[in-house]
Structure 1
Amino acid sequence: METVHHELAGEPTFEPMIQIDIEIKAFVSAWKHCDYVSTYMARMISQNRSDSVHHSNLFSSALNELLEVAFRTRHADGELACRVSRHGATDRIELTLPCVPEERQFYEEAVAQVAGIEARERYLNSVSGDLAPSREVVLLELAVDYNATLRIE
């Protein structure tokens, strides 16, 4: 699968490090695939970090959260591409996955909410309840706890 990769004007160039492509049908056949992919990729990209175990653990956790959001896709055909690129100390995760129009709308709205000024307050309110985290809460967690920037292309 050829991944579409766009750099924004004025943005530094991120060099590709690793990419895994998997049929979406195979990926969503077992929840554990999220953990397998995130753990493997985190170990591969963390080798040259000063504290590779710490970096691998944090990166694996963040990537696993993203993969769990992708796992909930309702689209059974196509491929999931997971690519990691690096610029200096910053690692970028790019997920390309098939989704139905309603899912794309969800992602666009969720990313807009995550970028909002009240993201931290919404996140803290959401985790103080007894409900299991929603996909939006997972994205909020990445933005708040990991200082992630999320973007839909």
Structure 2
Amino acid sequence: MNELENEAADGHFEPLLQVEMAMGTFLSDWHNCDQLSTFMARMISHNRTDPIRHSNFFSFALNELLEVSFRGGSLDGRIGCAVYRHGPIERVKLTFPCPPGQRQFYREAVSKTRRGNAYARYIDAISTELAPSREVVLLDLAINFDARLRLEESDPPQITIVIDLPLEGIVS
């Protein structure tokens, strides 16, 4: 059973789209983040209430998540991105190789998105940092998209960032 079938088997999230590529290919060009996020957003947004708005929100959120993996990526292995849907929520599972020394960073960064001081940490970071760090990007998704993030570490050296995006409910 592949990842899409596993997620659908829980009876909640319907599989929509799955993409996989060699990490070396992905890391060869920064534009791959934007191109992949734009493609996936267009593919999954056609039947939403406002497809263009949904596509823009999803593309932005996925691009940010892909850039997190791009900045911390390793040339070895594969990157995989799968998208599922349950009602107004899109679930993205981004799996990529993570060097052992970075695993703790991702554990802490994802954990910080669920803490009560996440908003204050986000405001402080965007007002003092010149360029957003990977941690700030994850906080941005949690704060501005009301996203719920978690980390799966079942298959070293890979990690999976799981993000639930309630994009249909976002008021612009």
Q: CA deviation at 1:74?
A: 4.1
**Contact 1:75–1:100 (8 Å) recurs in 2:** yes
- Count of aligned residue pairs for this structure pair: 149
Residue identity in the other structure for 2:119: R
Q: CA-atom RMSD, angstroms?
A: 1.7
How far, CA to CA, are the matches of 2:34 and 2:73 in structure 1? 20
Larger mean Cα displacement after TM superposition, 66-75 or 35-44 = 66-75
Question: CA separation of 1:119/1:32 partners in 2, compared to 1, >3 Å: closer, same or farther?
Answer: same
Quote the residue 2:168 is aligned against.
none
Please list every run of 5 or more consecutive structure 1 residues that lacks an aligned counterpart in the other structure: none
**Contact 1:123–1:141 (8 Å) recurs in 2:** yes
Q: CA deviation at 1:73?
A: 2.6
What SS does the aligned partner of 1:128 have?
helix
Quote the residue 2:72 is aligned against.
73
Runs (4+) off by over 4 Å? 4-7
Q: CA deviation at 1:102?
A: 1.6
How far, CA to CA, are the matches of 2:40 and 2:47 in structure 1? 13
Instruction: Give % identity.
Output: 51
Quote the residue 1:48 is aligned against.
47
**Contact 1:16–1:86 (8 Å) recurs in 2:** yes
The TM-score with structure 1 as length reference comes to: 0.91
How far, CA to CA, are the matches of 1:104 and 1:29 in structure 2? 23
The answer to whether 1:114 aligns with 2:113 is yes
Q: Deviations over 1:87-143 (max 9, x none)?
A: 111100000111111222111010111111000000011111242110000000000
**Contact 1:3–1:96 (8 Å) recurs in 2:** no
**Contact 2:4–2:18 (8 Å) recurs in 1:** no
**Contact 1:3–1:81 (8 Å) recurs in 2:** no
Query: What are the within-5 Å matches in structure 2 for residues 51-62 of structure 1?
Result: 51-62=50-61
Query: What are the within-5 Å matches in structure 2 for residues 68-147 of structure 1?
Result: 68-147=67-146
Please list every run of 5 or more consecutive structure 2 residues that lacks an aligned counterpart in the other structure: 153-172
Q: CA deviation at 1:3?
A: 3.8
How far, CA to CA, are the matches of 2:16 and 2:6 in structure 1? 16
